[in-house]
Structure 1
Amino acid sequence: MINKNYMYTRYFAIWICLLLVVSCKVGKDYQRPKLDLPEKYRNDTDINNDTSALSQNPRDFFKNKYLLGLIDTAFEKNSDLLLAVQNIALAESALGTVKLNYLPEINAQINSRYTKASQNSSSGQAGGNREIKDFNASAALTWSIDIWGKIKREKEEALASYLQSQEVRKAVQTKLVADIAKGYYNLLMLDEQLEIANRSKVLSDSTLAIMKIQYKVGDANILGIKQEEAQLNENKILISQIEQSISIQENALNVLCGKYTGVITRKVEGNSEFVSIPVEGYPVSLLASRPDIKAAELSLRASNARVGIQQAAMYPALNISAEGGLNSLTSSNWFSIPASLFGTLAGGITQPIFNKGRLKAQYAQAKVEREKEVIRFRQAVIDGYAQVSNALKNKEEINKQFIFAESREEALEEGITSTQLLFKAGTVTYLDIITVQSAYLQSSLQRVQLYTNKALADIELYYALGGGWQ
C-alpha cells in the first residue's frame, strides 16, 4: 500500500514538472510589427539631426508670457487633461492589484457554533447529548500556482495599460498646448485685422467726404457717392464679422482653460514669439517620440498580453489550499496546545470541460483584437508621417507666400497714396480709388493672415514631431 501511494505521488510530481516545462511555451512575447518606414519625409532632401528645438517643453518653446499663463491655467483646469490624470491613477491601482496575484490568499476566522438537536432527531431518540458546541480559530490559505504564465501576462497587460495612460495624458497635453497656442495667435491676428478694417473705414469716410464736396461743385456724380457708401458699409460689415470672430475665439480659449467666458488678455511680445523650427527635414525615427504613437503601441502590447491570458485560461489550473488553527468542543480548553491544534492540506488540478468551447471562442476573439490593434498602430504611424510631411511643406510654402504678400501690400500702399493725390487733383475717377482701396484692404488682411499662418505652421510642426516629448 505504501509503495502504491509512493508511486502515485511520484507520477503526480512528474506530471506537474511536465506542466511547468510546457508552460514556457504558452503565450508569445511582444514583437513590434514591421512598419517599412521611409528613410525621410516627402520632398525632403537633407536630414536635419539638430532636434534641440523639438526637445523643449512648452515653457521653453513659447516665449509669450500671456500665452504661457493660459497654458498654465489649462494644465490646472482643463477637463480632458484632468480626466487623463484620473485614468493614470486607475491604471496604477490596477497594476498594483495584479502584482499581488503572485501571493497566496490568506484569510483568518474565529467562530463558535452551538447546536441543540430536537428530541425526535436521531441524537434525541438515542438518548445521547443533544447539545453540541464547537469553537474554532483558524487561518486558511488558497494559492493558484501560475504554471502557464497567466499572472505574468496579466502583469504585462496592466503595465502596458498604465504606461498607455501616461502617454494618453501626454498626447492630450500636447494637443491642448497646440490648440491654445493656435487660438491665441489667431486672436492676435483678428485684433490686427480689426485695426486694419477700422483704418480702411476711416479712409472710406475721408474719400466719401471728398466726393460729396466734389459733387456739390459738379466734379462728381451721385453714382460715385453711392458706390463709396456701399464700400463704407462693406467695411462696417467686415468690422462686425471680425468682432464676432474675436468673441467666439475668446470663448473657445476660455473653454480650453476650464473657465467661463471672459476677455482674454493678449499682447504681441517682440518679433520672436517662440523658438523657430528649421524647415529642413527630420529623421523619421522622431515619430517614435509622439505620445499618440507610443500609446497605440502600448495598446497593442496590452492586447498581446490578453491573448496569453485567454490561452492560459484553457489549460488546467493547479490550486493548493491549507487550513490550520485551534478547534475544541468546549471553550475552556479551546486554546489548549497542542491538544486543540488541527490542520489540513489539499492540492488539486481543475480542467475546464463544458465551457472549453466558450474559452476557445474568447481566445480567438483576443487574437482578432490583437490584429485590430496592429492595424491601428500602423495607421497611427502613417497618420503621424503624413502630418509631419504636411507640416514641413506648409512651413516652407507659407514662408514664400508671406514674402509675396508683403511685396503686394507695399505696392498697393504706394498705389493708394498716389491715387488719393490724383483723385484730389481730378485726374482719376472714383472707380480707381474704390478699386485701389478694396485691393489694399484685402492685401493687408491677407498679409496678417499669412503672418499668423507662419506661426501656426511652426506650432503644427512642433506638435507633429512630438510636442517636446523626446
Structure 2
Amino acid sequence: MNKKTIIKGTLYVSVVSAILALQSCAPQSNYKAPKLDLPEQFRGQVDSLNTAKDSVGIADIDWKAFFEDEKLINLIDRGLENNFDMTNAIKNIQIADQKARQAKLEWLPKIDMTLGNVGYQYKSSNYYGSPSSAYYKKKGKDAPENMYVNSAQHISDISISWELDIWGKMRSMSAEALANYLKTHEAKKAVQTALIANIAEGYYNLLLLDAQMEVAQSNYELTKNTLKIVELQRDAGQTTSLAIQQTRNQMLVAKALIPSLKQQIAIQENSLSLLTGQLPDAIERDTKLADVKYEETLTTGVPLYLVSQRPDVQQAELELKAKNARVGVAQTNRYPSLTIDVTGGLNSMLGKNWFNIPGSLFGGIIGELSAPLFNKRKLKTDFEVAKIEREKAEIDLQKSVYGAITEVSDALITLETVKEQIEIAEEQVATSRLGVKQSNLLFNSGYANYIEIINAQKNMLDSELNLNKLKQNKLISRVKLYKALGGGWK
C-alpha cells in the first residue's frame, strides 16, 4: 500500500469521524408529552346513569351499534359518503400524504441533468478583447472583425448536490410533515364525529316535530268538538257568544301550530338533505319519538382515556408535535451545513466534438462547509418564534382537553336532570289528560263552565308538547355524550 493510499484512507476516516461527532452533539427536538392535570372521573358521573369508571366507555362502540334506527343509520351512511366537509377532509389527507412522502426523501441528494445546452456569445471589434482565434482555427477560417464568436459551449452534464444531515434538520422536517399528515386523519375523524352527531340531532328533531304535529292535530280536533258543544249551548240559551269566541280562540291556537310545524319539518328535512350531500327532499322515517330504542346503560370511561379518543384532542397534540419539530428545524438552520457537490459530463467548443470521449469529458467535486454569520437576526428570530409557537400549541392542547372534559360533564348533568324532568312531565301529562276527561264530563253535566274546559285543554296541550321536547332532549344528550367522549369515527 503506497503512501498516497494511506493518506486518502486516513482522510476518509477523519471526515467520517467528524461527521459522527457532529451528529452526536446535534441539537435535540425530541417530543415530550406535557403533563396534564386530569380528574379521576367526570363531574356528573353518578350511579343513576350507570356511568362506569372503567378505562373504556361508549366511545368504543361503533356508531352503527350505538344507533338502532335503520332509517337513521342509512341517513348517516349517505352523509358519510356524500357530505361536502367529509369529501374535503379526504382531499386534505391526500395533500398531506404527498407532502409527507416528499419530506421522507429530504436526506437524498439532489440530482440535475442537462442535455443539449448550446451557448454562443457574439462580440464585435469594439469589445475589449480579441477574436476567438482558436474557435475559428478549428473551423479552418479566419476570425472576422465584427460579430465574431467570442465563446462557444456545448454541454451535457449531471450534477449531484447532497447536504449531509449532521444536525438532524432533515429528521425534524420529516417529523413535522408526519405530524401534519396525521393531523389530517384526526381532522377527518372530527368531521365524521360532528357529522354523525348533527345528522342524529336533525333526525331526532324531525321525530320531535312529528310528535308535536300529532299533539297539535289531536288538540285541534278536541277543541273543535268542544266548540260545537258550546255553540249548541249558545243556541239553547245556556251560554253567551263570549264563550264561543274564547273557545274558538283556543281552537285557533292549536290550529296555528299545524302550518308552523309543517314549515319547521320541511326546513329540517332540507337541512338533513344538505348534510347528506343531497338536494332538498323529504326524509324517510317510520319511527315515532316515543318508540325510539336505545341502551340505558352508559359507560363513560375515565378522563385519561378520553385524551386518546377525542379526534380534536389528538389533533391538538399532533399540532404540538409539529411545532416541536419546527423548533428543531429553526435551531439547525443556525448551524453550519455540509454540502457535497459532484458534477460530470461532456463539454466541447465545437459541436462536432461534443460526444468525443474521452476528449470532451469533464468532472469536478466540491465540499462546502457554510455557516450563517450575520443575517439581521432573522435566524434567531425564527428560532425564538418557533419556541413561542410550541408553547402556544401546548396551551391549545390543554384547552382542548379541558373543553372535552367540560362537554362530557355537561352531557352527563343534562342526562341526569332531564330524566327527573321527564318523570315530572309524564305526571303532568297524566294529570292534564285526567283533567280534560273530568272537565268534559262535568261540562256535559252542567257542573263546569267553558272556562274550565278551555283551561284543561290548554294545560294538556302545553304538557304534552313539553314532554315530547324533554324526550328529544334526552336523545340528543345521549348523542352529545357519545360525541364528547370521542365516539363516532370508528
Fold match, TM over 0.5?
Answer: yes
Partner of 2:459: 439
> CA distance change for structure 1 residues 346 and 191 in 2, over 3 Å: closer, same or farther?
same
Name the CA distance, whole Å, in 1 between partners of 2:217 and 2:265: 15
1:118 shift after superposition: 4.1
Q: 1:88·1:162 contact (CA, 8 Å) conserved in 2?
A: yes
> CA distance change for structure 1 residues 301 and 277 in 2, over 3 Å: closer, same or farther?
farther
Partner of 2:478: 458
Partner of 2:281: 262
Secondary structure of 1:198's aligned partner: helix
Secondary structure of 2:409's aligned partner: helix
Identical residues among aligned pairs (%): 37
1:333 shift after superposition: 4.4
1:402 aligns with 2:422: yes
For residues 83-102 of structure 1, give each alpha carbon's deviation from its aligned partner in whole angstroms, at most 9, with x where no partner exists.
Answer: 11111111111101111211
TM-score by length of 1: 0.91
Pick from 67, 78, 82: which aligns with 2:87? 82
1:350 shift after superposition: 1.9
Partner of 2:43: 42
Partner of 1:30: 31
Pick from 359, 363, 369: which aligns with 1:339? 359
> CA distance change for structure 1 residues 35 and 51 in 2, over 3 Å: closer, same or farther?
closer
Name the CA distance, whole Å, in 1 between partners of 2:55 and 2:332: 48
Partner of 1:243: 262
Q: 1:281·1:392 contact (CA, 8 Å) conserved in 2?
A: no
1:387 shift after superposition: 0.6
Q: 2:176·2:322 contact (CA, 8 Å) conserved in 1?
A: yes
Secondary structure of 1:137's aligned partner: strand
1:199 aligns with 2:218: yes
Name the CA distance, whole Å, in 2 between partners of 1:355 and 1:48: 57
Unmatched segments (≥5 aa) in structure 1: none
> CA distance change for structure 1 residues 10 and 65 in 2, over 3 Å: closer, same or farther?
closer
> CA distance change for structure 1 residues 120 and 216 in 2, over 3 Å: closer, same or farther?
closer
Name the count of aligned residue pairs. 465
Name the CA distance, whole Å, in 2 between partners of 1:117 and 1:325: 27
- Structure 2 letter corresponding to 1:321: D
1:371 aligns with 2:371: no
Mean CA deviation greater in 158-167 or 399-408: 399-408
- Structure 1 letter corresponding to 2:107: Y
1:466 shift after superposition: 1.0
1:123 aligns with 2:130: yes
1:112 aligns with 2:118: yes
1:354 aligns with 2:374: yes
1:380 shift after superposition: 0.5
Name the CA distance, whole Å, in 2 between partners of 1:174 and 1:241: 31
Pick from 88, 93, 99: which aligns with 1:94? 99
Partner of 1:21: 24
Q: 1:74·1:256 contact (CA, 8 Å) conserved in 2?
A: yes
Partner of 1:139: 158
Mean CA deviation greater in 104-113 or 415-424: 104-113
Mean CA deviation greater in 115-124 or 218-227: 115-124
Secondary structure of 1:38's aligned partner: coil
For residues 107-150 of structure 1, give each alpha carbon's deviation from its aligned partner in whole angstroms, at most 9, with x where no partner exists.
Answer: 11122344565455633397974455543221100111111111
TM-score by length of 2: 0.88
> CA distance change for structure 1 residues 126 and 341 in 2, over 3 Å: closer, same or farther?
closer
Q: 1:333·1:340 contact (CA, 8 Å) conserved in 2?
A: yes
Pick from 53, 71, 76: which aligns with 2:76? 71
Name the CA distance, whole Å, in 2 between partners of 1:72 and 1:240: 31
Name the CA distance, whole Å, in 2 between partners of 1:310 and 1:142: 22
1:329 aligns with 2:335: no
Partner of 1:252: 271
For residues 375-399 of structure 1, give each alpha carbon's deviation from its aligned partner in whole angstroms, at most 9, with x where no partner exists.
Answer: 1110100010011111112122222
> CA distance change for structure 1 residues 156 and 304 in 2, over 3 Å: closer, same or farther?
same
Q: 1:53·1:276 contact (CA, 8 Å) conserved in 2?
A: no
Mean CA deviation greater in 135-144 or 394-403: 394-403
For residues 160-200 of structure 1, give each alpha carbon's deviation from its aligned partner in whole angstroms, at most 9, with x where no partner exists.
Answer: 00100000011011101100100101101101111110110
Secondary structure of 1:265's aligned partner: coil
Name the CA distance, whole Å, in 2 between partners of 1:406 and 1:27: 64
Name the CA distance, whole Å, in 2 between partners of 1:123 and 1:274: 98
Partner of 1:426: 446
- Structure 2 letter corresponding to 1:112: V
